[in-house]
Structures are given as structure tokens and as C-alpha cells.
Amino acid sequence: MNKNLYRSLVWTVLVVILSFATYYIYKSTITNSIKLQIEQEKAALEEYTGGVGKIDLINLNIARYRRYVIEDNKYSYYIPDGLNLQEILMHYVERPILLSDAELITVADSTDVPKSIDLAGYPDVKAVKLSVNFYVDDLSELYKYIEELQNSVRLIYIGSIRYVLPAPGSTNTKIRVTMEYYLFYRNVAQ
């Protein structure tokens, strides 16, 4: 009888130990898989925004470009006379789209002047505002697009830029970009 009690006690302890071990292994496996999933999502996000990531670099370049618009008189030389909208669309929308391998969605234009620029000293200077929506596969294509705009001789002011990153697990892998920028011209009597 004493031997049977000892066996049942050993089996009970063994079952309890195995139950706790199974529970601990199961919990640590699930916890580790969740941690791995979170780390993968962070790594994917850092591909877009990490440290001085691609978005940060693009925003820094835009801020640098904005500093040199019109206030520095030497750049006012690059403001052409008159408005040729067909030339603007060809050189400042279609060409950067082609060179950056982006996919144009829509483009709209209006005559508007950015509120952050004081044109009081330049009464003849006007601006055309371009609102462009396009898709890029990678932010490096957007960087090429902006670089192509800034490499032109024409004076350009980038007003706003918004990105819509693809949702995780989505079949759409493209980044949607909505961008507004201004091209300046002199309003001369024709």
C-alpha cells in the first residue's frame, strides 16, 4: 500500500511538471513568434523611415531647396517671362515621371502663389501650382523625381508632399505620392 501511494505521488508530480513544462514551452513559442512578427514589422517600417531613412532624407532635401527660393536675388534670374503650360507639363511633370519610373495618376494646375513666400518685392512674379498624384515602387524613385525637378534651371518651390504607404499584407505594393509644387514666371504684357 505504501508502495502504491509512492507511485501515485511520483506520477502526479511528473504529470504536474510535464504540464508546466508544456505550458511554458507553448507560451514562450507564441511569445517569441509575436516578438518576431513585431520585429519584422519594425524592420519593414524602418526601411521607409529609419534613422535618417529615405523619407527623412527626402524631407531634409525639400527643406534645403525651400531656403533658396526667390529670397536670394541671384535665383530670381531663373524666373522666365510668360507662362507656357504645355512646356511646364512636359518638362516638370512628364519628364520626371519617366526618368523616375513612377506611374502618373492625375495632374492639376492652378495659378496660385505659396503663402510662405513674400513676393511683395517682385510684383511681376506669379506662380503656377501643380498638384501631381503618382505611384512609386520605392522611395528612391520619389527621390529621383524630386532630384530631377531640382536639377532643372527653372525655379521650383515644393509646397507639400504626402505619402500613403501600402498596408501590410496588401496586394498593392506601390507608394502613393501626392505632391504640390510651384513654378514661377514673370507676368509680362504680351
pLDDT at 70: 58
Indicate yes or no: pTM above 0.95.
no
Determine the straight-line distance between the first and last CA of the chain, rounded to whole angstroms.
Answer: 117
Give the CA count within 13 Å in the CB-facing half-sphere of 69: 27
Cell of 186: 514673370
Q: Is the dihedral of CA 75, 76, 81, 83 positive or negative?
A: positive
pLDDT at 102: 86
pLDDT at 75: 61
pLDDT at 72: 57
Q: Is the dihedral of CA 76, 82, 84, 87 positive or negative?
A: negative
pLDDT at 77: 66
Per residue of the chain (190 residues), give pLDDT as tens: 688 888 888 899 899 898 888 888 877 777 777 777 767 766 666 655 544 566 777 777 777 777 666 555 556 666 778 888 888 888 888 888 888 888 888 888 888 777 777 777 778 888 888 899 999 888 888 888 888 887 776 777 888 888 888 877 778 788 888 988 888 888 775 4
DSSP per residue, 60-110: HHHHHHHTTSSSSGGGGGG--BS--HHHHHIIIIIHHHHHTT-EEEEEEEE
* CA 166 remoteness from chain centre: 11
Measured CA to CA, the distance from residue 131 to residue 102 in angstroms comes to 15
Measured CA to CA, the distance from residue 44 to residue 76 in angstroms comes to 42
